[in-house]
A and B are shown apart, each in its own frame.
Chain A
């Protein structure tokens, strides 16, 4: 069987409010912590949707668009950089599982 890349896999996920540009994120990340004192930057490899990325200068970036609300970053980060707060469903973006 053909193995899918992560973008191909995420292409199968059904998101709410996908077209909206003014969505309110449910995760806030203090990337200053990631980029100064964090010894492992674990969110950049443990997030199953790759919402946390690291560039060639070793700088951590976060984007919420692909988030599938699994919660992994909330536990993988032990530095206090990640906080979760769900917004009203109408202004938030998030998964709508077809199978689950």
Chain B
């Protein structure tokens, strides 16, 4: 192929597909390259796409049956010790109206569906015959001329473009190759996500979790779930399956000499989890690294002459305690990267000076604002007091508070004091309280 593209996108995950959709809508000529057999073949996520950017990409997506499984109208955050679970539970009909504030997805299905939507957008664009989604192709090298990215090499073939968007995910070998991320990324800032997909009879799943039609539930867990390792657990309801898994700090796994698959089995034997998954059939086991949301591992910058980095390749992911967010950041950063390329095309300027607009736009967006604002919360969640002592004392308090013995009952305040003394100290709590106050 002699002709040059406006843009080559590497990776057909949420970020790459969102960028592609935006380019197609802006009548750009592009090539989206994916190493998997289809978009989504190599992709794993916990399961919830938060926010409503999806409605911007695919208007009225909720009227379609494909892609997403359920919208979230029921959210739970659980503190666990080995026998109990104390849960903050919020369910509201105000979550029932589209565009929803979160939908549960399975990536092998969702990414493939989104790729079909991108293809429809390509078909409606001026470059219906000249823009492509190419799967089964590995990008081995980013080509540079005079320090400007000018294309990619795959095997013996070279493809040229005015710009390249890297959306290759967290194991960002190309981002490292072009020098934006250092070759060794320290274990302290990544977690191993590990999960099982458990299938049920759909009616049984809906009855068990009080699901109506397409409503769904998300539940995050801290404490016992991770067996002393930094991280947390999750359980999400899909159409007729559950995603049940953990994210576990890699440095902490290394130091504590623990196997992720053993911790997952232990989590599943917790009496509360065991009751939720009883009767299901495991149909897939998966794992994938996720970023911690610590800014210290973000690439030094997200642009170079002719090149932009978006999604988790830029380590855009965060768990500030309320939700594990990443796919929404991927979507927005992909859209912003493509919008920057579209403006660069108008000016015919793909230099750093023009592409810095992407980083500016990202800083102005909720993505970097969230990541900046919640750095303290991210660090707080790595504090053993939060992941071990607090869940234990909350569960201890819960057990005393809800136990009725036909004896004189202590006041709740006394019970709380007893639990705090048993599992931590008021000083511990003051410290996390102050940190927490700052973080929130």
Chain A positions near chain B (C-beta within 8 angstroms):
1, 3-4, 6, 9-10, 12-13, 16, 40, 42, 45-46, 48-50, 68-72, 74-76, 78, 80, 84-90, 92, 94-100
Contact = CB atoms under 8 A, between A and B. Distances in A.
Contacts of A4: 265, 282, 285
Nearest to B197: A99
Interface of B: 35-37, 40-45, 106-109, 111, 136-138, 155, 170-171, 173, 184-187, 190, 192-194, 196-198, 241, 250, 253-254, 257-261, 265, 268-269, 274, 277-280, 282-289
A68 B107 CA distance: 15
A70 B250 contact: no
Nearest to A6: B261
B289 A72 contact: yes
Contacts of B109: 99-100
Give the secondary structure class of A's interface: loop
B138 A86 contact: yes
26 contacts: A1-B198, A1-B268, A1-B279, A4-B265, A10-B285, A50-B261, A70-B44, A71-B170, A71-B289, A72-B250, A74-B185, A76-B253, A78-B184, A78-B187, A86-B173, A88-B138, A95-B42, A96-B42, A97-B41, A97-B44, A97-B108, A99-B108, A100-B41, A100-B43, A100-B109, A100-B286
B29 to A, nearest CB: 25
Ranked 7 nearest A-B pairs via Cβ: A100-B107, A9-B285, A100-B108, A71-B289, A48-B287, A70-B287, A42-B254
Nearest to B279: A1
Q: Which of B35, B257, B261 has the most CB of A within 10 A?
A: B261
Contacts of B138: 86-89, 92
Contacts of B280: 1
A69 to B, nearest CB: 7
B17 to A, nearest CB: 14
A13 B287 CA distance: 11
Contacts of B42: 69, 94-97
Q: Which of A1, A45, A90, A98 has the most CB of B within 10 A?
A: A1
A85 B173 contact: yes
Contacts of B171: 69, 71, 74, 84
A75 B185 contact: yes
A68 B44 CA distance: 10
A70 B192 contact: yes
Q: Which of A50, A88, A90, A92 has the most CB of B within 10 A?
A: A88
Contact of B282 (A9, A69, A72, A78): A9
Contact of B260 (A12, A13, A48, A90): A48
A72 B193 CA distance: 9
Nearest to A72: B192
B136 A70 contact: no
Contacts of B289: 70-72, 74-75
Given A13-B285, A94-B42, A99-B197, 12 more contacts: A12-B282, A40-B257, A50-B261, A71-B171, A72-B260, A75-B187, A85-B173, A88-B155, A95-B286, A99-B108, A100-B108, A100-B111
Nearest to B155: A88
A1 B431 CA distance: 40
Nearest to B256: A45
A23 to B, nearest CB: 14
Contacts of A74: 171, 185, 289
A37 to B, nearest CB: 16
Contacts of B241: 99
Nearest to A84: B173
B254 A89 contact: no
B239 to A, nearest CB: 11
A75 B279 CA distance: 36
B254 A76 contact: yes
A10 to B, nearest CB: 7
B190 A75 contact: yes
Contact of B37 (A40, A46, A89): A89
A40 B343 CA distance: 50
A97 B40 contact: yes
B288 A13 contact: no
A13 B288 CA distance: 14
B400 to A, nearest CB: 30
Contacts of A92: 138
A87 B136 CA distance: 11
Nearest to A97: B108
B173 A90 contact: no
Contacts of B288: 69-71
Nearest to A40: B254
A74 B35 CA distance: 19
Contacts of B197: 99
